[in-house]
Amino acid sequence: MRIAIASDHAAVALKAMLTEWLRGLGHNVLDLGPATDARVDYPDYGYALAEAMAAGQADRGIALCGSGIGISIAVNRHPAVRCALVGDPYAAALAREHNDADVLAMGARLIGEDMAKACVQSFLVGDFAGGRHAGRVDKLSNPPFAEEPR
């Protein structure tokens, strides 16, 4: 599977560990940075990840920052991408099954390495269930308001 991954400075170590682990499993990982833990702004990396996903450069994405909140908001600004912030494997599975999320977000300050791996594994093997969930997911891409995003 082609997986894009990005983080901010707070999650560089988790990103490096997950990248190595995923490559060891045979996945093609596109590391969008940053390369060091020097201070950066998470929106820059969230936007880069969203653009890579929308351009078809990856099948799934992983977004990481200190809490997972900021970068997930940045990724979700792109209308063609759905990012879910999770903290356990069941939520990761539901993000795929019910919400057809293509990007998984996690907080490096809130999740350990083993739990992060378990979340990623659940996310990667999950499929969208469709059915009653499809109409709801369609509404996520077509909201009832025409206001421009902030």
| 44-54 b/e (C-beta count within 10 Å ≥ 16 → b) | bbbbbbbbbbe
Contacts with 20 (C-beta within 8 Å, 6 or more apart), sequence order: none
Give the active site residue among 78, 83, 98, 133. 98
DSSP annotation of 4 reads E
Q: Is 119 a catalytic residue?
A: no
Query: 28 has which bridge partners?
Result: 2
C-beta of residue 29 within 8 angstroms of C-beta of residue 57: no
Q: Is 27 a catalytic residue?
A: no
Q: How far apart are CA 22 and CA 29, in angstroms?
A: 7
Give the active site residue among 65, 78, 83, 119. 65
Residues recognised as catalytic: 65, 98
